[in-house]
Amino acid sequence: MSADTVLDAVAAQLGEAQRILFITGAGISADSGLPTYRGIGGLYHERLTADGLSIEEALSGEMMAQRPEVCWRYIAEIEANCRGAQPNAAHRLIAELEREKQAVWVLTQNVDGLHRAAGSQKLIEIHGTVHHLRCTECPHERNVPDFGGLHIPPACPVCGGLLRPDVVLFGELLPQRGIDRLEQVLAAGLDLVVSIGTTSVFPYIAGPVWWAQQQGIPSVEINPGDTEVSRLVSHRIRLGAADALTRLWQRIHPGTPPAG
């Protein structure tokens, strides 16, 4: 099947579907200039941190508890590489589809906040967001636009305890509220599942694609490379996220540019 034929088929499914789940990973933010960290060309692709640790060790809950200055150093490095990034066409077009359809949900692993900035509201940020800090000792929490001006590691202004980003570090449990919301979305039923820019190595990210296959629901993968769910989906689009979503939008809405 040619690339254009696949795009035509997926555009037809997107146009028809009213209840869609988009699953997104770091690849969707690559066109916003953000590194994919562990993917090809990523910030920590096949190399250790300056402390001789893997990024999974450096960004772990254990490291935050035992050596918060080390964990914070790499959180701050990632945030600095993300600072100033804006939503790209893929983020914006998903948000636009949400305005058109009955129910368009986004399950994202990303902590960059770009889906929210693009206007998506039915959003499950399963790994949290780097822009929200919370104290590990008291109820204090606050939003920050970036880490500029923060002393690393930052202290709570209320109790002096350690502040940390409200994100899921390696080895930590996922937020139950996010898991419950995803289960509710699946239980309510979907017409289409679309995986974009994620290697789908985590079971809770690959799970909805497995579920779609078992339920006989069409699924699509948008990713230049092979992933854990490539063999499961109905259609594969081997393109970057912004390019693929733009081509699909043009097929669904010929001659009509998206708002914003």
Report, as residue numbers or ranges, the catalytic residues. Answer: 127
* Sign of the dihedral through C-alpha 23, 249, 237, 81: negative
Residues near 188 by Cβ (< 8 Å), separated by ≥ 6? 19, 103
User: Which two tokens mark 169?
Assistant: 């570090």
Residue 145 DSSP one-character state: S
Residue 157 DSSP one-character state: T
The amino acid at residue 220 is V
**Whole-number Å distance between alpha carbons of 23 and 90:** 12
* φ and ψ of 18, to 5 deg: -110, -25
Strands 235-237 and 123-125: unpaired
- N-to-C CA span, the chain: 33
The crossing angle, in degrees rounded to 10, of helices 203-215 and 176-188 is 10
